[in-house]
Chains A and B, each alone.
Chain A
Amino acid sequence: MPKVNFDKYETTGFYDEMFESDKSVRPQFNLLKKRLEKMDWKKLNFLQHSTDRAQLSLGMTFNVYSDNQGIERILHLDILPRIISSSEWDYLEKGLTQRIYALNLFIDDIYNDQKVFKDKIIPKELILSSATFLKQCEGLKPPEKVWAHITGSDLIRNSDDQFYVLEDNLRTPSGVSYMLENREILKRTFPELFEKLHVRPVYNYTHNLRDMLESLTKVTPASIAVLTPGIYNSAYFEHAYLAQQMGAELVEGRDLVVKDDFVYMVTTSGLQRVDVIYRRVDDDFIDPLIFRKDSMLGTPGLFNAYKKGNVVLVNAPGTGVADDKAVYAYIPRIIKYYLGEDALIPNVQTYICDEEKDLKYVLENIHELVVKQTDASGGYGMLIGPKSTKEEQEEFKLKIVNNPRNYIAQPTINLSRVPTLTDGEIEGRHVDLRPYILYGKDIKIIPGALTRVALKKGSLVVNSSQGGGSKDTWVLDN
């Protein structure tokens, strides 16, 4: 049986995380390469196969929205890890910390003093016209003035070797359970590498999460709940996993009742107060009295209890406004405005269709651009210019002209690639990087991330709903 080798592996045209363009291996991947080359292909494929089985047995499954209820899939975990050197990580950590500080100051400002409008940093209409701006949150002062406690920024690396922030995900980012469980599985796959490589551990995440949630209330012991839309939600595994790992109650909207502006769980021995809710239900659905009337997922009265300070919601409602893809274009200026610093991690060049000059450019160059709907996520509602047909482009142009506020465009970015096991061979596949940031009293970033990988050859869409998989991400100690 032949041993694994990288003879046919292609590195041209993209930044490859493992190899330099002359195919010499980057230092952080050295040991992995040696380990793989000692293994035969059959063994490597067997390890991959055991991983699929381990995921099923752990119940790491999700339902895809378009599927019938009850159809469960696993998020494919590719066993070849993505490895980040300690200096790369230090840079990312500083950059993300800066960004999250600034974004929280920004959100607090738009719901309170609105200095950012008065100083003409960002047009007021752009914010007020955002579907994610919640008028009901005006004047709210969450504990420590922190609004986005849990963030999962999407980063990418372009062919110029530079990391960029692609999206901020300030609402209810998911995937952290995969970061944690992928690690557990990979420790079984490559134990000898963990012994030698000094991979920084990620297991502290749920401890940090609990500490952060507790820090938001004065009540001790705090009663903490994770609010889930229920078992048919595609991230249900994660909700259950986090509740369990933190020792918090996993509740659905119907388990909660609000009396005299306090929130209670309905238990077998009566009503029990809740102090902090890590809610994984979107803003629109948390309280049918205030937001969507038809919501079955929320609890009537929850928002008022929150407003009175009787319960803490994490993340705070209204954070989505800074997540709007049109607002995104202003973030470097926002960082400068609040912190007086230049953004450490740059943004991807963004054309705002609501601005005349940009609109013209987008319409003329749509075949080269990625067009995104400003209030959508999960890889839905987007056009990838170079991969689209003429008809699709015309269709999008029409949509943009009819509602320019709803669209932005970005140049197509050549996401970096990582060696990935596909059909028994190793080929480069495009990846992004989603680290998880916690912000209570201060900002904490676990040295690790979810690396999402586009499994289809040449594809740039890494979303799990669109055929993406994941990789364990190793951050090395010095």
Chain B
Amino acid sequence: MLSRVADAIYWMNRYIERAENYARFMDVNFNLSLELSSGISEQWRPLVVTTGDWALYESLYGKEKKDKIIYFLAFDPENPNSIYNSITRSRENARAIRPELTKEVWEQINYLYYLVKDGLEKKRWKKNDPRNYFTEIKKGCQLVYGITDATISRNDGWHFGKIGQLIERADKTSRVLDVKYHMLLPTPEEVGSPFDIIQWASLLKSVSAYDMYRKKNGKLTPIGISEFLILDKIFPRSILKCLTQTEQSLHIISGRTEGYSNNAEKQLGILKSQLEYVDIQDIFEMGLHEYLDNFQKKLNETSTAIFETFFSMENIINRN
């Protein structure tokens, strides 16, 4: 398929996944903020830190303020990663590759666009409880996944879209887990306290992992949760599962069944096997935050390799 088109499908899916994740983060954090006992302040800053845009937020709005943060993450045209911008850019990409999509997929993405455009125009962040809005966005994005699955052939385009979605998902799961590092407990004694537990539970909910985690482990423990979100082999949002699926799609595109035939496969294969041969104790010894930080760097390198292998026209023309 056309390199430009593959690139656009990849980003179209990444942006939808990003928007869905943001919508879920906000919904969960809003919920969490309603359950705090006295003496504990709401925590919105970690949410922005997770997305990597704290510096931008500070330069625009200064101090941590709940309504400003909701605006910044969901609506702000100045924030390149806001839900508004993610959806707009996803649709922009969808428009550029309209012939690759089915009518149903296009109409759903188009619908989402009008939803966020309307949200911005009607100043939805000024409503007391924005959770309905976030639920609408979340469901709207999930509908895109569903319709894509049900109407698009498993051609290269589908796999490039899947790769975009999975890379974004792995990135977001690692960032959500890392947020716990930035969440402040009032005193060290609070570790394992009801408040600590509530935070871990909400963290699971942020990545739609609460139910499946409970089914597998029952008890909420930091080590159990970290293991589940990083190393679980069958949970669709765990980092390892995302990478395994990405590798499958890369193999289908290249026609290989194992090993690698291009740099994208090579980088991804290395990263995946590093996860396959590590256990959670190793990770905790290294330090969870350090481990996740390092993982995000390598994931970025992999995504660069994907760009250079498939999307960069200059590279492709030079190779042929």
Chain B residues near A401 (CB-CB < 8 A): none
Binds A, one of B27-35, B92-100, B173-181: B92-100
Chain A residues near B97 (CB-CB < 8 A): 250
**Residue tally, chain A, CB below 8 Å to B:** 25
Contact B98 A250 (CB under 8 A): yes
Chain A residues near B3 (CB-CB < 8 A): 255, 266-268
Contact B319 A270 (CB under 8 A): yes
Residue B156 interfacial (CB < 8 Å): yes
Chain A residues near B313 (CB-CB < 8 A): 254-255, 266
User: Least Cβ distance of A437 to chain B in Å?
Assistant: 24
18 further interface pairs, Cβ-Cβ under 8 Å (given A58-B107, A59-B106, A266-B313):
A58-B110, A59-B98, A59-B107, A59-B110, A230-B96, A236-B95, A240-B99, A248-B99, A249-B99, A252-B4, A254-B313, A265-B2, A267-B1, A267-B2, A267-B3, A268-B310, A270-B319, A271-B317
Distance, CA A30 to CA B160, complexed state (A): 54
A-B contact pairs, 15 of them (CB 8 A): A58-B103, A58-B110, A59-B106, A231-B95, A236-B95, A241-B98, A248-B99, A249-B99, A250-B5, A255-B313, A257-B317, A266-B4, A266-B313, A267-B316, A268-B310
Residue B243 interfacial (CB < 8 Å): no
Residue A114 interfacial (CB < 8 Å): no
Per CB-CB distance, the 10 closest pairs between chain A and chain B, nearest first, are A244-B99, A240-B98, A243-B99, A268-B310, A266-B313, A250-B99, A268-B6, A271-B320, A266-B3, A270-B320
Residue A449 interfacial (CB < 8 Å): no
Distance, CA A58 to CA B98, complexed state (A): 11
Distance, CA A270 to CA B317, complexed state (A): 8
Contact A59 B95 (CB under 8 A): yes
Contact A268 B110 (CB under 8 A): no
Contact B4 A254 (CB under 8 A): yes
Residue B114 interfacial (CB < 8 Å): yes
User: Least Cβ distance of A231 to chain B in Å?
Assistant: 5
Once A266-B317, A271-B320 are accepted as A-B contacts, the answer to whether A255 and B2 lie under 8 Å apart by CB is: yes
Closest to A243 in B: B99
Distance, CA A57 to CA B107, complexed state (A): 6
Residue A56 interfacial (CB < 8 Å): yes
Residue B111 interfacial (CB < 8 Å): yes
Chain A residues near B319 (CB-CB < 8 A): 270
Residue A383 interfacial (CB < 8 Å): no
Distance, CA A58 to CA B156, complexed state (A): 25
Distance, CA A154 to CA B121, complexed state (A): 40
Contact A240 B4 (CB under 8 A): no
Once A255-B2, A266-B3, A266-B317 are accepted as A-B contacts, the answer to whether A244 and B107 lie under 8 Å apart by CB is: no
Contact B111 A57 (CB under 8 A): yes
Closest to B160 in A: A268
Contact A268 B253 (CB under 8 A): yes
Closest to A56 in B: B114
Chain B residues near A251 (CB-CB < 8 A): 2
Chain B residues near A240 (CB-CB < 8 A): 95, 98-99
Chain B CB within 10 Å, residue with most, of A244, A254, A257: A244
Chain B residues near A231 (CB-CB < 8 A): 92, 95-96
Total cross-chain contacts (CB, 8 A): 70
Residues of B within 8 A of A (CB): 1-6, 92, 95-99, 103, 106-107, 110-111, 114, 156, 160, 253, 310-311, 313, 316-317, 319-320
Closest to A240 in B: B98
Chain A residues near B110 (CB-CB < 8 A): 56-59
Residues of A within 8 A of B (CB): 56-59, 230-231, 236, 240-241, 243-244, 248-252, 254-255, 257, 265-268, 270-271
Closest to B313 in A: A266
Chain A residues near B95 (CB-CB < 8 A): 59, 231, 236, 240
User: Least Cβ distance of A226 to chain B in Å?
Assistant: 8
Chain A CB within 10 Å, residue with most, of B92, B99, B106, B320: B99
Contact B316 A270 (CB under 8 A): yes
Q: Is the interface of A mostly helix, strand, loop or mixed?
A: mixed
Distance, CA A364 to CA B85, complexed state (A): 57
Closest to B96 in A: A231
Distance, CA A236 to CA B156, complexed state (A): 24
Chain B residues near A241 (CB-CB < 8 A): 98
Chain B residues near A59 (CB-CB < 8 A): 95, 98, 106-107, 110
User: Least Cβ distance of A301 to chain B in Å?
Assistant: 13
Chain B residues near A254 (CB-CB < 8 A): 4, 313
Chain B CB within 10 Å, residue with most, of A241, A257, A268: A268
Contact of B316 among A56, A236, A243, A266 (CB under 8 A): A266
Chain B residues near A265 (CB-CB < 8 A): 2
User: Least Cβ distance of B15 to chain A in Å?
Assistant: 16
Closest to B93 in A: A231
Distance, CA A254 to CA B96, complexed state (A): 13
Chain B CB within 10 Å, residue with most, of A254, A255, A267, A271: A267
Chain B residues near A255 (CB-CB < 8 A): 2-4, 313
Distance, CA A244 to CA B97, complexed state (A): 10
Chain A residues near B99 (CB-CB < 8 A): 240, 243-244, 248-250
User: Least Cβ distance of B317 to chain A in Å?
Assistant: 6
User: Least Cβ distance of B165 to chain A in Å?
Assistant: 17
Closest to A259 in B: B320
Distance, CA A271 to CA B103, complexed state (A): 28
User: Least Cβ distance of A257 to chain B in Å?
Assistant: 6
Closest to A236 in B: B95
Chain A residues near B96 (CB-CB < 8 A): 230-231
Chain B residues near A271 (CB-CB < 8 A): 316-317, 320
Chain B residues near A252 (CB-CB < 8 A): 4
Distance, CA A57 to CA B109, complexed state (A): 10
Chain A residues near B5 (CB-CB < 8 A): 250
Closest to B103 in A: A58
User: Least Cβ distance of A360 to chain B in Å?
Assistant: 52
Chain B residues near A257 (CB-CB < 8 A): 317
